[in-house]
Structure 1
Amino acid sequence: MAKDTMAASQKPPLELLRESKSSIEEIIARMLSIKKQGTPKSENRELLTQMFLNFINLRQANRAILIEEERVKTETESPIDLTALQLHNLMYEKSHYLKATTSSREFKSKYPNIDLISEQDFFTDAPQPIKSQSLSNHDLMLKRLNFELHQRKEVCKLRAELEQRKKSLLEANAERSKFLSTLPLLLKSLKKASLPVQSQLCLPSPKKLRYHDLAELLPPPLYVVYSKFMAQKEAFEERIDVEVSGSLKDAQSYAKQQAESSDDDNGKRQRKRPRTESSDEAVHPLKLVLHVYEDETPDPKSRKLVMLKFEYLLKLNVVCVGIEESQDGLEKNILCNLFPDDAGLEPPHQSTKLILGDDHAFDESTTSRPYKWAQHLAGIEVLPEMSPFVTGKDTQNSDTASVSDQHNVQTVLRRIRSQKKGGM
């Protein structure tokens, strides 16, 4: 162990930092593997010892990096001061030259309103009849004025050509604008004419494609619910419709914020980004709407029974479900009675209770509640508060069967239909 510490101290700090980080990640992965596989935990003590040694190496590498940084800073202070002094002198000279240039430009000549080109450009660009190699100062000024007149005449000709071209382009744009104004009607008629072909080829509708695009921005729990219901509909032709509603702009903005936050975490920045305060019940911009029809088998005449709305509370990591456009208390009881002891009034798991408090309960008047069956459906594991060894074997088996039913989309839909028809 001492040899490892001595060997680590002889390595470069950055290499030691990378090796310690990789070793810690491997140890944590090994500990998680032991925990998941249920193997004996006798290796944990040795793994913890190795992890502490790696933490010591991290502190050593960090200290070495800070010492090196302080040394480099000390060595560069003197050149920086010298460079700053040279910069100050250069800025002073620049100010002096600018003042001299300004005073020269403000000098009033005989032709104050004409900005002539320089003499070098004049001898380079002027035609041979205008310029001459041996000129006095007065003749040179006259020649430069003649060249200025020549240039302005050429610019006037170019302007006339451009004006004519502009006129022709405006006429062409007017014709195209007229065509574009009639294009929506043409596209609408084309879309209407293509519907039979789309139906025969079993192509997905534009509305369905738009929902798939929106589904990519759903939070993971709602996406799990969306994928389960879509798989149930496509595999068994279940009489349901799944829609994604909400603000696309807000969802894209939230996804961008999450990506930037993830980039900051992966970059291991020392300066932390300021966290924005949000309420405990902040809701994701996108929601999932489920339309449940009366018959399980495909039937065009089947009427709509109920419409459910799935929401995701960001900070609480909770999925809430409610009856869309509910006006009476009868429809609320449909979801409350789907599974025993799941009225949706208490936080569904321990982390939510820690955030809200043990005595927190959701309002009975709200139609959207965090039912446990909704968490199971969304892939959010809800661990029992009591150990299976305390509750007993029979209770454990019944709870396991109940949780299995709550994972089953077909069972949830069947119970919703049964509760709705029973309440009617």
Structure 2
Amino acid sequence: MTSLTEKQQQCFQLIQSIKNGLEQELEQNNLSTTKKSQEQYNYLFELMFQLKNSYNLLENTLDKEFLSRVDSIKELINIKMNQLDSYRYEKSIIESEIDNLAKTRFDIDSPSLSIKPINDFISLLSPTQKVEYDSLSNENKVIFRLEWEIYQRELKLKQLSNLKQKKIEYKQLKQKADKDLKQFEDKLKNTIDTEQIGKPLQKFIHKLPTTGPIPIDAQSNLIDSSKPIYILYNELFYFQQFFESTLNMEILSMNNNQDNSSNNNEPHNIYISVKLNNSNNNNILELEFYYYPKLKIITVLSKLNGNVENGLALLERIDQLDQGLMTPNLSNHYILDNCGNESFNLSRQNLLGRPFKWAQYISGLSFLPDTNTLASKQFKPKTSHQVFTDIINLLNLL
């Protein structure tokens, strides 16, 4: 700013000196006709151009160094004025709210605040706190109660946070326990077999109310019997002892001196005969179980009051998907093919009875299912107890 002012003063002084010199010359001489006057005019014009250039330079310098600063200052002033207007507006709003609050009476016992009643509050204070509270003014008493409420609620928030954390921990423990139990259950399912299931009960078997051991006359035939007949006889014997004492059964021999090897298609000479008497309707059901060593299947011959067809019809009602018309052992087809025969056909085998699937399972036999038939896919094995209970129930319904 100082340099600009000095230049301006110098310009004014120069113009003033030129003006004064010209005025003096005009007063002393008549310059209109002299050559000297013409030179002075030219000199004057030259000075005027120099003055014009100096003025332009001065103006540009002022724009750059002074006016730009002035514009920025004006812009800053406008911003500050806008902020000041905003503060004034906020001040008016706050003053209005203060006036409204000043007119409103604060009630600490208002139900909307959920503050503990004064009597309950005082009863919870310690003796020292009671003395302190009684010594306060009414306004400070209100503040004291509010601070006490805030402290109590902070404690409850901490308790709630602890409970939530414990809930998460208990949930994690439960998930771990469930996982361990599931793994233990899977291990049990994979490792427990029939022998392990029965082992805890073996020491109590002799305490069950049986009438006695297997009869001596049956023991010799039992020794000579096939394994499926042996298993079935024991199943029937204990079913008779524990559940159905009216069931009569015998293990018999055909006494035909036939070869019991698997080289012929004849039944084993040892078979089981079962008789059920129904006292309500006087019906008698006879069942005979035969084992075929070559076919490796058990057949059941049934007679109801001496009629084979009626007896087989009753057995067909045990399972609608198991009519005993198909061999449960698929290898029978291949065995007969190797012998030059056609596929297995019950009607051509002259079997004694039918090879019901349930008879195979209660005799300890099991075969791969025939995945091509719906009956094989849906067949569910039954225990000997379930099978003979069904037979007795069907006999009672006749």
TM bracket (short chain)? 0.3 to 0.5
TM-score, normalised relative to structure 2: 0.40
Q: Which one has a bigger Cα radius of gyration?
A: 2
